Amino acid sequence: MPYQFASCLGLRSFVLSASLVVALGLVCACATAPVGPPVPAPTLTVGDHWTYRITDNLRRGLVTMLDADVVSTMAGVATVRLVYNNEYGREELTEEMNAEGGLVVGALKEERVRRFPVPIEMYRFPLQQGLTWRQIVDTVSPETQLPAQILVYATVQGRASNTVPAGPFNTIYIYRIIQLDDEQFWRTRTTRNDSVWFSPDVKAPVRELRDASYVWRDGSTSPLVRTENTTRELISFKAGS
C-alpha cells in the first residue's frame, strides 16, 4: 500500500478512536474539583527528585522503583536521569524535556532512547479544562527505516483530587493517546493510552496509567497484543535548590 494512502487511513482511524476515547474518558475520570486557573509550565531545577512506584499489571504486579533527577538545565531543556530498580536488576536512562512540556530525547515504549525530529508534545502548557491538542510528527521508523509518523492526541478534562503514597493532591487530569511509528506488515502501530494526573505542586504527575497494544495481522482473527499496562504513583518529591 502506498505510504501516503496508508498514512491517511491511519490518521482517520486515529481521529475516530480519539473521539471515542475522549467520550469514555469523560465518564471514567476521577472525582472532579472546581475549575481553577490555568496551570503554567513548571520550572525544573537541578536537584528536583521524584520517586515513583511502577506496578506492571501484565507481569503479575511486578513492582519497579523509579528515581528521577534533574541533572542539568540548558537553553530551556532539562536533562533528567531515570534509574529503574526491580528484582531483575537496575537500568539507567536519560531523557530531555523542554520548557513547553515536549519530550526532546526519550523513549515512548521499551526501546532505545532516541532524539525525536521535533519534541513530542506530552503536555501543552498552560493546562486548562477543555484544552485539546493534536500533533503529527514525521519520523523514520526504528523498526523498518521507512518514513513513518508519531501521532499525539490529548485533552485536559478538568481538575480532580487524587491520593497517592506521597499524599493527597489537587491535580489536573489529562487523557492522552500516542500512536507510535512502529507499524510493520505483520502488525499495526502501537497505540498507547495514558491517564495522567498532573500536580503543579510537584511539577509532574502524581499518578499515571498507561495501556498500550497493537493488533497482529494474521489474516483471520487479528488478535490484540497488549504490550504495557502499568500504574505509576508518586512516593516522594524533593525540590532542587
Residue ranges covered by each domain of the chain: 3-238
> CA-to-CA distance for 119 and 129, rounded, in angstroms?
23
User: In which band, very low, low, confident or very high, does the pLDDT at 32 lie, cut at 50, 70 and 90?
Assistant: low
The mean pLDDT of 75-87, rounded to a whole number, is: 98
pLDDT at 33: 56
Residue (of 89, 39, 97) closest to 69 by Cα position: 97
Take residue 190 and report the three cell numbers written for it.
502501537
More confident residue, 41 or 8: 41
The mean pLDDT of 112-134, rounded to a whole number, is: 97
List, in sequence order, every residue forming a beta bridge with 89; answer none if it has no partner.
86
The mean pLDDT of 63-90, rounded to a whole number, is: 98
User: In which band, very low, low, confident or very high, does the pLDDT at 99 lie, cut at 50, 70 and 90?
Assistant: very high
72-86, 108-122, 128-142, 209-223: least confident range: 209-223
Entry field: residues in the chain: 241
Please say if the pLDDT value at position 5 is more than 60. no
More confident residue, 191 or 111: 191
The mean pLDDT of 40-64, rounded to a whole number, is: 97
> CA-to-CA distance for 141 and 104, rounded, in angstroms?
17
Which residue reads 536488576 in cell numbers? 89
> CA-to-CA distance for 108 and 104, rounded, in angstroms?
11
> CA-to-CA distance for 240 and 92, rounded, in angstroms?
20
The answer to whether 158 and 29 are in contact (CB under 8 A) is yes
Q: First-to-last CA distance in the chain? A: 54
The answer to whether 95 and 81 are in contact (CB under 8 A) is no
> Is 3.40.50 the CATH classification of the domain at 3-238?
no
> CA-to-CA distance for 239 and 241, rounded, in angstroms?
7
> CA-to-CA distance for 172 and 54, rounded, in angstroms?
20
219-226, long-range: CB within 8 Å, 24+ apart, which pairs?
A: 225/187, 226/58
The pLDDT mean for the chain works out to 88
CA 154 to chain centre: 10
pLDDT at 34: 60
More confident residue, 21 or 138: 138
More confident residue, 168 or 36: 168
Q: How many other C-beta atoms are found inside a 10 Å radius of the C-beta of residue 238?
A: 11
Q: Exposed, middle or buried, 231 (CB in 10 Å: 0-12/13-18/19+)?
A: middle
